[in-house]
Structure 1
Amino acid sequence: MIKHRVFFQFCLLALYLFPNPAASQETLQPEASVIQKHIAFLAADRMKGRGTGSRGLKKAARYIERQFRSYGLPPAGTRKYRQPFLARVTKVKVKDSIRNASNIIGFLDNGAPYTIVIGAHYDHLGKGHQGSSRHPSPEGLIHNGADDNASGVAGLLELARYFSGNEVTEPYNFLFIAFSAEELGLLGSKHFTAHPTLPLENIHFMLNMDMIGRYNPDRGLGIGGYGTSDKWPEIFEGLTSGIRFFTDNAGSGGSDHGSFYAKNIPVLFFHTGGHPDYHMPSDDPEKIEAEAEAGIISLGIQIIENAMKLDKLPFTEAE
Structure 2
Amino acid sequence: MNKRRPILYALTSILFLALSLSGMAQIQPKNLKKHIYYLSSDQMKGRGTGSKEVGKAADYIEKQFKKYGLTPKGQQGYRQHFEAKVRRVVVPDSIRQATNIIGFLDKGAPYTIVVGAHYDHLGTGHQGSSKDSLGVGKIHNGADDNASGVAGLLELARHYSADKTPKPYNILFIAFGAEELGLVGSKYFTEHPTLPLENIQWMLNMDMIGRYNPDNGVAVIGYGTSTAFPQIFADIQSPLKFNLSKDGNGGSDQTSFYKKNIPVLFFHTGGHEDYHMPTDDADKINYEALKAIIELEVKVIDNSMKQGKMNFTWTN
Q: Could you tell me the TM-score, scaled by structure 2's length?
A: 0.94
2:248 is matched with: 251
- Of 178, 203, 215, which aligns to 2:212? 215
Cα distance, 1:170 vs. partner? 1.6
**What is the letter of the counterpart of residue 312 of structure 2?**
P
1:152 is matched with: 149
Structure 1 residues 20, 313: CA separation in 2 closer, same or farther (over 3 Å shift)? farther
Cα distance, 1:94 vs. partner? 3.6
Cα distance, 1:20 vs. partner? 4.3
2:89 is matched with: 93
2:180 is matched with: 183
**What is the letter of the counterpart of residue 164 of structure 1?**
S
Query: For 1:109-124, what aligned pairs fall within 5 Å after superposition?
Result: 109-124=106-121
Counterpart of 1:49 in 2: which secondary structure? helix
**What is the letter of the counterpart of residue 142 of structure 1?**
I
**What is the letter of the counterpart of residue 197 of structure 2?**
L
Stretches of structure 1 that go unaligned for 5 or more consecutive residues are none
| Whole-angstrom CA distance in 1 between matches of 2:51 and 2:311 | 38
**What is the letter of the counterpart of residue 257 of structure 1?**
Q
| Whole-angstrom CA distance in 1 between matches of 2:310 and 2:199 | 8
| Whole-angstrom CA distance in 2 between matches of 1:290 and 1:28 | 17
Query: For 1:118-267, what aligned pairs fall within 5 Å after superposition?
Result: 118-267=115-264
| Whole-angstrom CA distance in 2 between matches of 1:254 and 1:296 | 19
| Whole-angstrom CA distance in 1 between matches of 2:16 and 2:295 | 23
**What is the letter of the counterpart of residue 141 of structure 1?**
K
Stretches of structure 2 that go unaligned for 5 or more consecutive residues are none
Q: Does 2:280 align with 1:280?
A: no
Contact 2:168 2:309 (8 Å CA) reproduced? no
1:137-190 Cα shifts (integer Å, max 9, x gaps): 111100000000000000000100010002332211010000000000000000
Counterpart of 1:183 in 2: which secondary structure? helix
Query: For 1:7-46, what aligned pairs fall within 5 Å after superposition?
Result: 11=10, 15=14, 20-46=17-43
Q: Could you tell me the TM-score, scaled by structure 1's length?
A: 0.93
**What is the letter of the counterpart of residue 25 of structure 1?**
S
1:56-86 Cα shifts (integer Å, max 9, x gaps): 1001001001111111111110111100111
Percent identity, aligned pairs only? 58
1:282-306 Cα shifts (integer Å, max 9, x gaps): 0000000011000000000000111
| Whole-angstrom CA distance in 2 between matches of 1:145 and 1:187 | 18
Q: State the superposition RMSD in angstroms.
A: 2.1
Contact 1:204 1:313 (8 Å CA) reproduced? no
**What is the letter of the counterpart of residue 166 of structure 2?**
T
Paired residues in the alignment total 312
Contact 2:263 2:312 (8 Å CA) reproduced? yes
Counterpart of 2:243 in 1: which secondary structure? strand
- Of 275, 286, 291, which aligns to 2:288? 291
**What is the letter of the counterpart of residue 200 of structure 2?**
I
1:197-237 Cα shifts (integer Å, max 9, x gaps): 00000001000000000001111000000110011111101
